[in-house]
Amino acid sequence: GAWGGAATTVLDWAEPALELGRELAEASGVPGLREARWERARIGAALELAPADLVTVSYVLKELTARARTELVDAVAGAGQAVVIVEPGTPDGYARIIEARDRLVAAGLTIAAPCPHSAACPIAPGTDWCHFSARVSRSSLHRQVKGGSLSHEDEKFSYVAATRFPTTPAPARVTRRPQIRKGQVLLELCTRDEGLDRSTVTKRHGELYRAARNIAWGEPWPPEGTA
């Protein structure tokens, strides 16, 4: 991590990516990032990782063979007290996340997010995929490269976070953008006990209704203190 004086190490095989990362970290002004170590390493098979509080694997699995993906996930599961894996929010990206999730659970980790449990994903294969969206700013150069005009874009992603230490997952997770209608809010949820569920929150629910009008796709439900 990059907080409280913790040491951060970034691994990548491509030297240009490492150099760009160093430049961005230096320009960030964040001490933990500026002090990060940037090291060249082949990601995948035979990767050796030192024990770490947190290991993140971001948009990497799609670049690897099936065997290399398996070995990488096993390596991070063995090294990290907490593991976060992120892939593009596509059906293929979700499939890779599910594959990694299964291996993390088999290695003894507990799912912390987005799932409210460590049991099998309730989505029937091929019918849908679990993903979320984050709005990110785009620079003028970014807009030029991607041929866009907006100052932002909504990045779709799938992810899994798992830990070796005790954790309390959310009772449920909002899995689609909430539909706000007159006097009610429709929520698509993944729940701890009911699997996939649809919930209609109306004005008669009082505080819960007010919370539903402000809840965002990907957030836990219900918000703490409103159940």
For 100-149, the pLDDT digits (tens) are 999 999 999 999 999 999 999 999 999 999 999 998 877 777 667 777 77
Per-residue burial over 174-207, b = 16 or more CB atoms within 10 Å of its CB, e = otherwise? bbbebeeeeebbebbbbbeeeeeeebebeeebee
pLDDT at 3: 46
For 150-197, the pLDDT digits (tens) are 777 889 999 999 999 999 999 999 999 999 999 999 999 999 999 999
Crossing angle of helices 66-79 and 91-106, in 10° steps, is 50
pLDDT at 224: 84
The residue that leads in pLDDT, 49 or 152, is: 49
Q: What are phi and psi of 160, to 5 degrees?
A: -145, 140
The pLDDT of 39-54, averaged and rounded, is 91
Sign of CA dihedral 30, 35, 41, 47: negative
pLDDT at 5: 57
